[in-house]
Amino acid sequence: MAFRDGPFENIKVPLAWTAAVVVVVAVIGAIFLLLGDRTTPEGGSSMGAARGGFEAAAGPVGGVFAAPVRWGGAARDYVGGYFFAIGENRRLKAEIAELRGWRDEAIAQKNINGRYEALLGLRTEPAVAMATGRAISDARGPFNRAKLIDVGSAKGVRIGNPVVTEHGLVGRISGVTSGVSRVVLLTDVASRTPVMIERTDARAMLTGDGGDSPRLEFIRGAGSIQAGDRILSSGDGGGLPRGLPVGVAAKGVDGAWRVKLFSDHGAVDYVRVLLFQTFGQLVSPDALNAPPLAGLATAPEPNAAEAGAIRDAAARRQTAQQAQAERARAAAAAAAAPVTPAAAPSTTPNAARPATTAPRPAVATPPPAPVATPTAPTDAPGGAA
């Protein structure tokens, strides 16, 4: 039986009244819940069970009603991403290209800064003034190995100055202008560098032959070099400071000793020129030629106790010298005194008396000379005695 066929088919309820009744019931229920909610002795709520049941029942219902909303949002994002993917892709590609350029520049700057830090950290003993430059051209051939750098006489560079990188010795200055210098590398055929083997301190001459590894010639001492020995500048002749790293010794295919240069470990583009001419520039010639004990003129005056001790020592030394001189004079006088015998008078004429001598001194003296026997005086004429 349908609802309209029942006993309530003639009942008509206006929509406004229905809504008003629902609101009134909801308000009454809310007021009832507010007034009936009390805190239990355990610290909970008296409506906690009812609230929990309502939330448990409303949770799945809310999830069901929220699912279409989530699906609609996801579909919208998908469609929007699909339509805008091309434009976003182009924008990202442009950003990547721009960032790639910045990345390459940052890497280059990092490498340059590392080179500068290594060059600035280079130290020599004793300290030598330096000028930093950059290689601007390179000349390589079977007989010529040289570079041009952008520092010259305006920075104090002179012919003969050694050139180094952060790895080791590169060569020497062979020509100078105001702003440019020419560097002859160690591998040039005109290069001759006095070196030493660090392990044995043996001397040798590093000779360039146009190859990448110059030869070691005139090695002093048998067995003074082995493969892997470090080669340093010896400073002989005064053209280079002592101890600059050059390379490592190795046996060549021709059987000769060669040097694998430390400067080959990196590009020779940033260099430092040691403003070194002779060892005389490292110290003042006046200080080297100072008179002996010249520094004692600045000694402080002694105090009273020190002055008394100095006088006592001088007096004792003078007394000892005087006593030694007296002993020497006494010994000399005793050695030079002559020895004379004492003769007794004789009462018997022409009677010989034995000669007596004085006791001999402790020192050795020559034997005494023989003594003649004295004779009695003769009678005078006329019988007078």
- Give the pLDDT confidence score for residue 236 in this predicted structure: 87
- Give the pLDDT confidence score for residue 340 in this predicted structure: 60
- Give the pLDDT confidence score for residue 41 in this predicted structure: 63
pLDDT at residue 126 tops 70 = no
pLDDT classification of 12: cutoffs 50, 70, 90: low
The listed range with the strongest mean pLDDT (50-59, 99-108, 343-352) is 99-108
Whole-number Cα distances in Å, 160 to 156, 172, 276, 320, 324? 12, 6, 8, 64, 66
Q: Are 171 and 263 in contact (CB under 8 A)?
A: no
Please write the tens of the pLDDT for every residue from 306-365. Answer: 888 889 999 999 999 999 999 988 888 888 876 565 554 444 444 445 444 444 544 444
Please write the tens of the pLDDT for every residue from 277-308. Answer: 766 666 666 666 666 555 555 667 788 888 88
Beta strands in the chain (DSSP E): 130-140, 145-149, 162-164, 169-176, 181-185, 192-197, 203-207, 215-217, 230-233, 245-251, 257-261, 270-274
- Judging by DSSP bridges, how do beta strands 270-274 and 162-164 pair with one another? antiparallel
Whole-number Cα distances in Å, 306 to 75, 297, 301? 106, 18, 9
- Give the pLDDT confidence score for residue 129 in this predicted structure: 81
pLDDT classification of 75: cutoffs 50, 70, 90: confident
Helix (H) or strand (E) holding 71: helix 48-120
Whole-number Cα distances in Å, 126 to 241, 242, 244, 281, 382? 8, 9, 12, 11, 118
Quickly count: other Cβ atoms within 10 Å of residue 207's Cβ.
20
Give the residue carrying structure tokens 């960032």: 99
pLDDT classification of 259: cutoffs 50, 70, 90: very high
